Every structure is written in C-alpha cells, then in structure tokens.
A and B are shown apart, each in its own frame.
Chain A
Amino acid sequence: MQTWLALLMMLLGYAACTDSFDESLSVQPLQDGRVDVAFNFTIRDDSISPHTHLLPLQIVNLLAAPEFEIDELHLSLSTGRWDYDKWHYPAFADLGSSGAEVWLSPASDSSRDSWNTLVHRLSGLFCASLSTSDNTHHVVLDGKTWTHAQISSQLPCTENLTPFIALLPCKSAAGLGQLLNPHKLFDADYHSLALSVYKDDHGARIEIKIEAVFNPARNGQQRQYSTKALFDRAVSQHCDLADSSTVYFGLPPPPTEEDSKDVWVVLPEDHEGIVENNVLSVDLMSSKKPFGLALIWPFQETFTYPRSTIDPPIRVRRDQIAGPIEETFVMKIALDNTDDESVQVSYLQSIPWQVKPWLHTFQIHGNKSAVSHEHALAKLDKDPYTLHVNTTLQPHSQTVIECIYQRQFLKYTDYAPDIHRGIDIPPGFARFTQNDHSRVVYTTPMLVDLATPDFSMPYNVIIITSTVVALFFGSVYNILVREFKLIPKQEHKGKTD
C-alpha cells in the first residue's frame, strides 16, 4: 500500500512540476563582415526545491540559501572589446563589457558579509576570481537596489565555459549546447558568457547567455561562413528536455543590383526554415535533418572590409588625458547622439579607491539644462568613487563629462601585485531605451599608471632617513653641550718657541 502511495505522490509531483527549457541561437552578419552569434538558454521553474528537474542544483542552492536572499543576479565574463561603432549593440542588452561583472539585487538589505560569501560562492561555481573587485558599490536603478562589482582583469577561458555548459539540461550532448565548442568560441574577436537569475514569488528563471563575434574573413579572406565552419560542430540531435529549440539565422540586406558582389545565397537550398523580416528561423524540434546552414557570396572572390560604416545612434567614449601635474590625469567621457531623436541616458561608473577625483574640476559640457548628476564619495577607506549622470542627449549633440583624477600614493603593502602594469579602471556604461529596447553601452576599461615606490628599499629607507635625523640631532646636541677653547695657532707656536 505504502509503495503505491509513494508512486502516486511521485506522479502527482511530476505533473505539478511546471518547468520549461527553451533554447535559441541567433547568427547575425555584421556590417564589417563579422558574424555575431548569440546563444540563449532559458530555464523556468515554478517552485524552488532541491528536488529539481531542469533547474540546476547549483543555482537552486544559491536561491534557497537564506543568507543571500537573491531577488535578481547577473554574472558576466567577457573578453575583447565590443566595437559599438561597427557592430552596434549586442543581441543581449547587458553584455558588451570587458572582464567580469556581478550585479545583485537582494530581496532585503543584505550585509557586506553575505555579499562577500555570495561572490566567493560564484567564484567557486564559475572558476573565476570575482572577490578581487575593488569597485564594489551600491546603486539604485529602475527602483531596485543593486550591488555591483566589476573586475576588468578577470577574463574568461575554457575553464569558465565548462561550468556554464554544466548548467544546461542536455549539457553539450544534444541540442544547441553541442555547438559550444571552446576552441572556436574563445578564438572569437569578442566573447561573453553570462548568467541571469530571476526569482519571484512562484519560482525562478535562469538565463544562460553566450555571445561571440567571429571574423570569418580573418583566415580565408572570404566573408562566407557556415555554422559548421563557425563552431566546427553540427547539431546532430535535438535536446529532448527542451520545449523549444530555434535557430534565427540573420540574412544580410537584399543586394541592390543583380550579380553584383553583394549577391548572397543560403545553403543548403532545401533548408526547413521560414524567412521573416530578413531572418531565417529553423525549429530544431521538428527538424528531421541534422542542422547546418551556410551563407555565401558567390561573386565575391576576396572580401574587402568596408571603408565606412553606419554609426550607432548612441556612442560613449572614455579617454585618459595627461593632467596639470605629474600625479593627475583627466578623464573625459563623451556621450554622442547621432540620432534624430533625443534620448534619455544614464551614465554610471565606479572608480577604485587608488584614484581620487578632484570634484571641484568636475564639469559637464553640452546640454546643461537636462543634466543631473550624483557623486558617491568613499565613506570608508577603500571604497570606490561612483559617478551617476542622468542626461537627455539632444539629437546630433555631444555631452562631455570631464574631471581631474589624482593617482594616490600608497603604502607599499597596499599596492596590488604586478603594479607596474598599472591598475584597471573598469568600464563605465550608459543605459538608455530606444525603440522599446533597453540598451547598455560600455566604455573600454582604462589602465592607469600608479607611481610606485622602490619595493626593495624598506631597510635602506629606514636606515638612511634615521641617519639624516640623527645627523641633525647630533650636530645640534654637539653645539649645545660642547665648550669652545682657545688653542694657540701652530705658526705662532713655532715662532715663539
């Protein structure tokens, strides 16, 4: 009887378990001949319990832990520079940074301790050193309080991809996960691995996002590419656990003239996809054949990079200029709007404590009327300085934010290892909404030279400084206590004798 009951409970449990897994891949040609590839794996579950079906246990343990109280969590690991000028915006709004980035929105006010523990847990889960951030700060965005940390020197590699693949229900054995080939992915000009966790009253949703920009023309001087060539793998079978599995194969704009060099063809010609809005979508769940697509330009013998490209509507640039004295530099942030509409932009950056702003030199040039900014100065010794600027960029205008920063002189124990390389200032970023898409544009990270002492000198300095002090003290003491005497001069002696 008991066995029957247990079986019935299990069946009921299975029926009540409303979890789902959706995966998609988007392959989009870019205007400079590169290809943007974006994987999205979304797992939803209406309940969070250790008896999980699709939701990975690692994440369930994080969500269930009472000390963290995660409401929303984002982690991304990226290498390379996202070239906004040529590639415009990434497929995933919050990617495009460089280095590691962690965002946490706790359900209640979390302490610094629980943040540190969480970061250590994430470091362990994803094989990354996330605890070395020195620009961790708090910020309120869209009504939520976030703790945010960036580590620009933490670049992803194969060991970081493995834990991401481990979160997938079908791992890399079936479905789109098969295409996650580290040899190809980490050969890309830019690549980013990201995890987003959302928790609500009912359950949780996690998104695993992987985006990379490949350059097919780099090797063969040919623009053409195929999924086989990009990943060196094919999707041999679909993932049975997935509810949907779709490939969105972006097509270039149709050629203006027949038989010009811009004519392109999708192969194989008997693909099972549907073309809509210049995107060819293939449903892998219903597909009978192994998946593979190619895009070729039959009349193009060698590909030449375009001389000019279309600018994205909003651009952000951050530059370092020599300052008025040796230990200072000017940080110049230029926000450009090349669009015909005005855009509400919020710029945020967090500067590690080794560099200090001179707030009296803070200036905003451009549309002054619609600017609000707030500084968060360091409260504790090693807190970062955070700048948050909200402004409306008028059409075809530029807003420039300038401030002089001073490099701090530190105790020799406070310098990071390999300090002669300089310290990393993590990327700043501008957030805005355009055509109902929220976008984030990151600046490049900045390397700042710190003036360094000679680390081999402690004994010498103590000895030499003490000598100079003792020399002065000795001379003064000598004058104060010793008496003068008259001593007959030598030649006088000689004459009188």
Chain B
Amino acid sequence: MSFTLDISLSAALRFFLFYATPLPALLERRLELSTPFTSIAILRESLATESYDRMSPLLTHSLSYLNHPLFWNSIDILTAVALRRVSKRCARWYLYNPLTVITTLAQSSVSVQNALVLTALAMACQKRAFTALFLLSTASVLFLYPAALLPPLLMVLWKADEEQGMQEERVHDGVIEKVTKQTSQSSRTPTTPQAQHTKRTPYTSLKHALIFSLQTISLLSLSRYFAGDWSFVHLYSSLILVTDLTPNTGLFWYLLVEMFEQFKGFFTAVLQAHTVVYVPSVCIFLSHRPTLAYTFLAGTLAIFKSYPCMADVNVLVALLPLFSDLFEHARHPVFVAALTVTAAGLLPLFRYLWLRVVTGNANFYYASTLLWTFSNGLVLTELLYAEARRMFVERQGGVDTTKYEIRQV
C-alpha cells in the first residue's frame, strides 16, 4: 500500500527531525508558529503557575500528559488518515507539507486545532455527524474561533446526507471512486436543496446545532471541573479583547499598540466582527459546495483572528488540493502563490531585523504582517472568484466560452 508507505516515511521523517536535529528547541518559541496562547512555552508556564488564562484547562491538562514527540507526530498521522477519506492527495500533501512538519516540531497547540478542524471536516464528509460536531466543539472550546465553522460544517453534513454514500466532492482516488461513481458527476452542477429526497429536513441541521451546543456546554463544564473555578473564561475574554500585544502575523497587535485609547474598543469590535462577518454570506453563496465554504472561512479565521500565526493557515493549505478544478479559473495563481511565499519569508526576517539586530524598526515587521494578511487574502479571493467563474461557465451550457471573455459587470 503506497499510503502506508507515505505514513511510515513521513513519520520516520518527523521522528528523525525530532530526535536528531535541534529543530524542536529552535522552533518551539518562534512566534510565527505559535502565539502567546498556543506555544509549548505557555503550556509549561501554565502548568508551573497553574493559571488557565492563556490555555484552556482541558488542553493544559491533556497536554501535560501527552506532550511527547509521539503525540505530536500521531496527531499529524491521524489527521492524514482521516483526510484520506476525503482525498488521498490532501492526505499526502498534509503529511509532507513543510509548514505542517515545522508546526509539529514546534509542538505548537495550533497543530491540535488544525487536526481537530480538519478531522471534523473529514468526519462530516463521511456523515459521522456526532463525531464531526464533537471535534469541532472541542476545537471551539479550546481555541474559540473554530466555532465560526459550525454553519459550513452543518452544510457539509447536510450535503453528505443529500449525496448518499458520497464521501468526497472531487474524486481523484480509485479506491473511493467505485463507491461514489454515480454521484461524483452530480456534484459538479450546483444543486438546490429542495431538489433532494429522503429524511433530510431543516430539523436535521437544527438537531446538529443542538448536539453541538450540548457538547460545547459539557466540554465547558469539564473545563470548569479541571480548573476548579470559572476563572478560565478569562482565556476567551483575552482572545476577544486582545490584551496581549506580542507581535503575531495578524492585524490586531500593532493597531492596538498604536491605537488612541478612546477608539480602542471600537476598532477591536469592528475587527472582531469583520472576522466572522463572512460566515453567513459565504455559506449562502457556496451552499452547493460546503467544503469550499468551510475552507474559505477557516482561511479568513486564520488571517483575521486576534492571535493568528503562520501555522493557522495550514487548514487552508491542506484542503487546497480539493479544489484543483478551480485552478484554470483563477486570475493570477502564480503571482498570488509567489507573494504568499515571499511574505512567509519576510516575516521571520523582519522580526529578526527589528528585535535582534535592531537595524529595522517595528514598521518592518508590521509591513510583513500586512503582506502576509494581504497575500493570504488574495489566495482566498482567488478561490472564491474561481468558483464563481466556474459556476458561471457551467451555467452557460453548450456555449463555447473560449470565444468570449468572461468579465464581471
């Protein structure tokens, strides 16, 4: 089995990097890979001071037992195995993606978040609603922001119900193709919910939402049990109010460092609202292709949330192979990819110039975070544009679109 080989190879690679190189120690405190809310240093500090205002008590307690290279590697492998049900290419890409590998080496809890969010999607695609919702509610309780991914996840569940036995939207893998042959074509055309059949009712989604809230409440109670009191909710308030101004790849920190005191509340509210404002509109727009909605929203969270880091983009990057059909419809894919890679290189460089050698000032690093946000934003808009264009071309039926220019008006 080639996939087994992939798994063993990548696991061997990770263990090699963990044990034979100084990379874990070098990477564990890089703020590109973890934030003051996710780094392994914060975990150790939370354990030393027994405070949970930086990390959820659930995460602190479980990681205190699990913090071992074996655990960090196995969550990657398990995520890849789950992703394999969605797409074999995604799984393989996830195993060898250098960003995934270094995030794992940094032992950043962002990789736990990514694993939960990706596995939730994989489970939803397989119609395993309870597991999928449980994974997402865990991610939400631990990291707050993944809660915004509930609507697209409900849509994925809805869609999976609709396409009986369907486990993948774009089928590239021989194994799954047999099962989903007849349905794989139908997904190329946008379908309307009312055209569908069976037990599926609006109540299904309502029921799922209810399950999600019950799971969230029980996980919060469990956190309360571990923490001993409710003081751990400070974690959520500091994520929302952005009290720690340590530089990260996002937009909040420098804005709030420089912000006039009387406008601080307003700008924080606007930027936080902006992070989730895309949820309803994009869900409606991409209702025919919920995995893309899920990916797109995970991407917006990864760049606009209050404490993002480069590793957050992993969800978006991991799911990109699902949308290879959109490549031909994108406007400037090469430019956008090059820009993102450049920004990823500039982040550590300008950070070094500002904080270590002090030949650059804070504006250097600020500029690179802007470029990072902007280029990732371009990736997202390219995806959305390409999907919109693809839908349009499909709607044209037999018209030979090569004879025409397709323009937005």
Contact = CB atoms under 8 A, between A and B. Distances in A.
Interface of A: 324-328, 358-360, 362, 377, 408-413, 449, 451-454, 457-458, 461-462, 464-465, 468-469, 471-473, 475-476, 478-480, 482-489, 492
B230 interface: no
Given A478-B408, A485-B409, A461 B254 contact: yes
Given A458-B259, A465-B255, A471-B374, A489 B404 contact: yes
B356 A326 contact: yes
The 4 A-B residue pairs whose C-beta atoms are closest, nearest first, are A326-B355, A360-B44, A484-B392, A360-B48
Contacts of B389: 484
Contacts of A449: 358
Given A362-B48, A465-B255, 12 more contacts: A325-B30, A326-B352, A326-B354, A358-B45, A457-B258, A465-B251, A468-B370, A468-B377, A471-B374, A475-B381, A487-B405, A488-B403
A377 B48 CA distance: 12
B362 A453 contact: yes
Given A476-B381, A487-B405, A488-B404, A461 B45 contact: no
B258 A484 contact: no
A325 B361 CA distance: 17
B146 interface: no
B118 to A, nearest CB: 23
Nearest to B31: A325
A473 B29 CA distance: 32
Interface string B372-406: 01100100110011001100100010010101111
A308 B351 CA distance: 45
A457 B363 contact: yes
Interface residues of B, number: 65
B406 A484 contact: yes
A147 B271 CA distance: 43
Nearest to A464: B370
Contacts of B385: 479
Contacts of B392: 483-484
B324 interface: no
Nearest to B385: A479
Contact of B274 (A360, A362, A473): A473
Contacts of B373: 468, 472
B285 interface: yes
B21 interface: no
Contacts of A413: 261
Given A409-B246, A489-B404, A462 B29 contact: no
Given A359-B45, A458-B259, A461-B258, A486 B370 contact: no
Interface of B: 25, 29-31, 41, 44-45, 47-49, 244-247, 251, 253-261, 263, 267, 271, 274, 277-278, 281-282, 285, 304, 351-352, 354-356, 358, 361-363, 366, 370, 373-374, 377, 380-381, 384-385, 388-389, 392, 396, 399, 401, 403-409
A461 B263 CA distance: 13
Nearest to B366: A461
A484 B394 CA distance: 12
A16 B399 CA distance: 118
A495 to B, nearest CB: 11
Contacts of A479: 381, 384-385, 388, 408
A482 B388 CA distance: 10
B49 A377 contact: yes
A469 B409 contact: no
Given A484-B406, A486-B406, A462 B381 contact: no
A480 B281 contact: yes
Contacts of A458: 258-260
A480 B44 contact: no
Contacts of A461: 254-255, 257-259, 366
B44 A485 contact: no
Nearest to A449: B358
Contacts of B31: 325
A484 B403 contact: no
A458 B259 CA distance: 6
A57 to B, nearest CB: 44
6 contacts: A326-B354, A452-B361, A464-B370, A468-B370, A478-B408, A487-B404
Nearest to A409: B245
B49 A462 contact: no
A489 B402 CA distance: 9
A30 to B, nearest CB: 40
A482 B409 contact: yes
A54 to B, nearest CB: 52
A114 B41 CA distance: 39
A469 B246 contact: no
Given A458-B260, A482-B409, A325 B29 contact: yes
B382 to A, nearest CB: 9
A409 B44 contact: no
A487 B403 CA distance: 9
B121 to A, nearest CB: 21
A489 B405 contact: yes
A26 B373 CA distance: 69
A411 B256 contact: yes
A454 B45 contact: no
A475 B49 CA distance: 45
B407 A469 contact: no
B278 to A, nearest CB: 6
Contacts of A454: 361-363
A109 to B, nearest CB: 26
A327 B407 CA distance: 49
Nearest to A377: B49
B254 A465 contact: yes
A483 B385 CA distance: 11
B31 to A, nearest CB: 7
A451 B353 CA distance: 12
Given A358-B41, A475-B377, A480-B285, A451 B363 contact: no
B45 A360 contact: yes
